[in-house]
Amino acid sequence: MKSVWTACFSAIALLALASCSSKEETTNLLLQEWTGPHGGVPPFDKVEVAQFKPALEAGMAQTLADVDTIAASAEPANFENTIAAMERAGKPLDRAAAAYGVWASTMSTDEFREVESELEPKLAAMQDRIRQNAALFARIKAVYESPERDQLTPEQQRLVWDYYTDFVRAGANLSDEAKARVAEINQRLATLYTDFSNNLLHDEESYVTYIAAEQLGGLPESFVAAAAAAAKERDHEGEYAVTNTRSSMDPFLTYSNDRGLREQVWRTYYNRGDNGDQYDNNKGISEILKLRAERTKLQGYPTFAHRALEKQVARTPEAAMDLLMKVWPAAVARVRQEVADMQAIAKQEGANITIEPWDYRYYAEKVRKDKYDLDANEVKQYLQLEKLREAMFWAAGQLYGFDFNQVDNVPVYHPDVRVWEVARNGQHIGLWYFDPYSRPGKRSGAWMSDYRPQERMDADIKTIVSNNSNFVKGAPGEPVLLSWDDAETLFHEFGHAIHGLNSNVTYPKLSGTNVARDYVEFPSQLNERWLPTPEVLNQFALHYETGEPIPQELVEKIKRAATFNQGFATTEYLACAILDLKFHAIAEPGEIDPDKFERDALAEIGMPREIPMRHRTPQFAHIWSSEGYAAGYYSYLWAEVFTADAFEAFVEADGPYDPIVAKRLYDNIMSVGDTIDPAEGYRRFRGRDVDTDALMRDRGFPVVN
């Protein structure tokens, strides 16, 4: 997370922030310097929702005052009094925003959502006021154009370029009238983004499928135990709850032999945000598209997609789409094969059906057993959440020299959260918070956050990062067993965390994961590659009852099935990425019906009817709840090109833990943040540009020349 006023906070109207008193700034808990161990920690245990509004309003007022002081300086603009000063501004607001972000994503309540709806517009308006400050931009521009810029360090030059480019992209060169309209648009978008998130959260919390004991056919014991616990938590003791989250839906569709129930659960999940009621997201999406297009035109770009990709590694939406469409035909062809295999098994079993979307996971699992003699539920018995956490620690230690030690002297915001100190060679590196379980008020999915970025501008500040998941907590004392996909996701998000923990830069804006959107997923995807290594599986893939390590025969089956179901996995993702670019390539959206646009666009590219998008449009939070991944969902595949090619570097050397390759990875990618151009950093790591064919080889698809 960049400092809050340069980050992607959505928002809506700046009220009388000047009225916030200096007393609030010094007395409000959320604004105060963090105290305690490890360089200070967030006081999460003392946070109350009532503190957010006064804290953030006071923090915004102080931030604006800091910025106005920089802009009004009588001294000639230089790096120290303008660019470095901007890096120092707004620290109290950053601290308050750390807690605010946690409550927005993991502790949301009706009371908090009311506060959030009021604050988001103010945050966006503050950001606009900073970016549209003519005197401030004149100083930034003066530093950018100064001959003395060449005398700065490469990192300082990169920071100057970053500030200047961000201000220009935000409209710093626009007329006063255009600036005012951009600010208006940003304020309205802030409200729409918040509404989208809250509507989606409503549908995830409100729709639960309760089933009886006689409807549990085919479901593994671990799922049954978790479903019973989830039902009891919701005052439905004696029943079993299939919650409206991926971590519950996915295993149910994989194992339940009740086809009618599979369809019910599938429809409930894929209709989130699309139920035609007050929580329906389609109308909001249409307005978001129109406003994004209007603002983009004012800023001088042909489409939102062109603006969004300008600072990315791909550079243009055409380049991104070319990669997606390079993979699409092979992915769809693989789906056809997968469906044919499923249909054959259904016929053998006497099921007179045509494979539907709610059948795909169920019959894919049967094909997996038939072709590879691999039972995903058997694999799951060896994938205990806590053992996998230990595995992640071990691999990070081998690659980057990290040591993890759990601490109990750090306050947390929920009893489920635990904290580890991270060290290297006995030196404190940072803190890692782990919040693994689903609960009401927590948004779905898995993610990484940083509460404090690493920097050493005025002092050696160590980072604080977190990983958040939504695993269904089992009965007390029962281990949480993960699917192979869930285990990969766990390693993926931890990859983001160790990217942040490895950061070794001077300025917070360039720190950790603050890199190009289509590059930030590269370190996290790469970290998935250490899960299936023998070193990890033999030590940490232990049977939850016997403690025996996973049999080598089962490991070999996993390897042979590594590219199994890649048609499904690739196609459901690609459809989202392609649709995202198509939505944002429209120069004049008008009144779009998102559902119809989705159907027509998927029909145009030949989407297999048996597969839905991974995130259907009304629930596609990556692109509609903020602008973080808007016109950028392609980045997962773009980053996977780097991932496949980079892991081949380890394979070509002495294996996945080769210390020489790991050192190059640390020196040129994991530690440098955004201090150098990502393509140049990768070139230094690999000794050449990335080989795009590595992705096709990795997925078992034919290489297209």
Which residue ranges make up each domain of the chain?
Answer: 17-173, 208-261, 282-374+565-633, 378-547+634-705
What was the pLDDT predicted at 703? 78
Catalytic position from the list 493, 521, 627, 640:
493
Residue 278 has pLDDT above 60, yes or no: yes
For 383, the token pair is: 């994938």
Q: Residue 241 forms beta bridges with which residues?
A: 210
pLDDT band of residue 698 (cuts 50, 70, 90) is confident
What was the pLDDT predicted at 23? 54
Residue 11 has pLDDT above 70, yes or no: no
What was the pLDDT predicted at 563? 85
What was the pLDDT predicted at 444? 85
Q: Is 313 exposed, middle or buried (0-12, 13-18, 19+ CB in 10 A)?
A: buried
Residue 521 or 703, more confident: 521
Spatial CA neighbour of 572 closest among 498, 477, 636, 642: 636
Residue that the structure tokens 């790591």 belong to: 685
For 12, the token pair is: 């809506």
3-state secondary structure of 12: coil
Residue 12 has pLDDT above 80, yes or no: no
Strand boundaries in 7-64, DSSP class E = none
pLDDT band of residue 5 (cuts 50, 70, 90) is very low
207 backbone dihedrals φ, ψ, rounded to 5°: -100, 110
What was the pLDDT predicted at 704? 65
Report which residue type is found at 172: A
Q: Please tell me the distance from the alpha carbon of residue 487 to that of residue 536, in angstroms, as a whole number.
A: 12
For 468, the token pair is: 């958040």
The overall average pLDDT reported for the chain is 93
Residue 1 has pLDDT above 70, yes or no: no
Q: What is the DSSP secondary-structure string of 305-333?
A: HHHHHTTSSS-SHHHHHHHHHHHHHHHHH
Among 2-6, 122-126, 643-647, the least confident range:
2-6
Q: Please tell me the distance from the alpha carbon of residue 91 to that of residue 6, in angstroms, as a whole number.
A: 12
C-alpha pair distances (Å), 704 with each of 76, 293, 701: 56, 35, 9
Q: Are 662 and 400 in contact (CB under 8 A)?
A: yes
Rounded percentage of the chain residues whose pLDDT exceeds 70: 96
pLDDT band of residue 207 (cuts 50, 70, 90) is very high
Q: What is the DSSP secondary-structure string of 214-230?
A: GG-TT--HHHHHHHHHH
Q: Once rounded to an integer, what is the mean pLDDT over residues 492-514?
A: 98
CATH superfamily of 282-374+565-633: Neurolysin, domain 3 (1.10.1370.10)
Sheet holding 427-437, edge to edge: 402-407, 418-424, 427-437, 463-471, 447-452
- Percent composition of the chain: helix, strand, coil (DSSP 3-state, to 5): 60, 10, 35
Q: Is 201 exposed, middle or buried (0-12, 13-18, 19+ CB in 10 A)?
A: buried
Residue that the structure tokens 């016997």 belong to: 546
Q: Architecture of domain 378-547+634-705 in CATH?
A: Orthogonal Bundle (1.10)
Q: Once rounded to an integer, what is the mean pLDDT over residues 348-370?
A: 96
Q: How open is the CA angle 298-299-304, to the nearest 5 degrees?
A: 95
Encode pLDDT of 333-353 as tens digits: 999 999 999 999 999 999 999
For 63, the token pair is: 């931030």
What was the pLDDT predicted at 16? 33
Q: Is 177 exposed, middle or buried (0-12, 13-18, 19+ CB in 10 A)?
A: exposed
pLDDT band of residue 474 (cuts 50, 70, 90) is confident
Which CATH number, 3.20.20.370, 1.10.150.250, 1.10.1370.40, 3.30.200.20, labels domain 17-173?
1.10.1370.40
Encode pLDDT of 637-651 as tens digits: 999 999 999 999 999
C-alpha pair distances (Å), 102 with each of 67, 416, 587: 26, 14, 35
Q: Cβ of 576: how many Cβ atoms within 10 Å?
A: 23
pLDDT band of residue 15 (cuts 50, 70, 90) is very low
Q: What is the DSSP secondary-structure string of 57-121?
A: HHHHHHHHHHHHHHHT--SPP-IIIIIIHHHHTTHHHHHHHHHHHHHHHHS--HHHHHHHHHHHH
3-state secondary structure of 549: strand
What was the pLDDT predicted at 24? 58
Rg value, the chain, Cα: 25
Q: Once rounded to an integer, what is the mean pLDDT over residues 605-617?
A: 97
| Helices 110-131 + 52-71 axis angle, to 10 | 0
Among 17-21, 92-96, 184-188, 510-514, the least confident range:
17-21
Report which residue type is found at 439: R
Domain 17-173 identical in fold to domain 282-374+565-633: yes
What is the bridge-based pairing of β-strands 427-437 and 463-471?
parallel
Q: Please tell me the distance from the alpha carbon of residue 403 to that of residue 646, in angstroms, as a whole number.
A: 24
Q: Please tell me the distance from the alpha carbon of residue 499 to that of residue 512, in angstroms, as a whole number.
A: 6
Encode pLDDT of 384-442 as tens digits: 999 999 999 999 999 999 999 999 999 999 999 999 999 999 999 999 999 999 999 99
What was the pLDDT predicted at 13? 30
Q: How far is CA 539 from the centre of its chain?
A: 29
pLDDT band of residue 14 (cuts 50, 70, 90) is very low
Q: What is the DSSP secondary-structure string of 418-462?
A: EEEEEEETTEEEEEEEEEEE--TT--SS-EEEEEE--B-SSS-BP
Q: Please tell me the distance from the alpha carbon of residue 196 to that of residue 113, in angstroms, as a whole number.
A: 12
Print burial letters for 501-511: b (CB count within 10 Å at least 16), e (below 16). bbbbbbbbbbb
What was the pLDDT predicted at 20? 39
Report which residue type is found at 619: Q
C-alpha pair distances (Å), 347 with each of 8, 256, 337, 400, 475: 51, 18, 15, 51, 38
- Is 493 tagged catalytic? yes
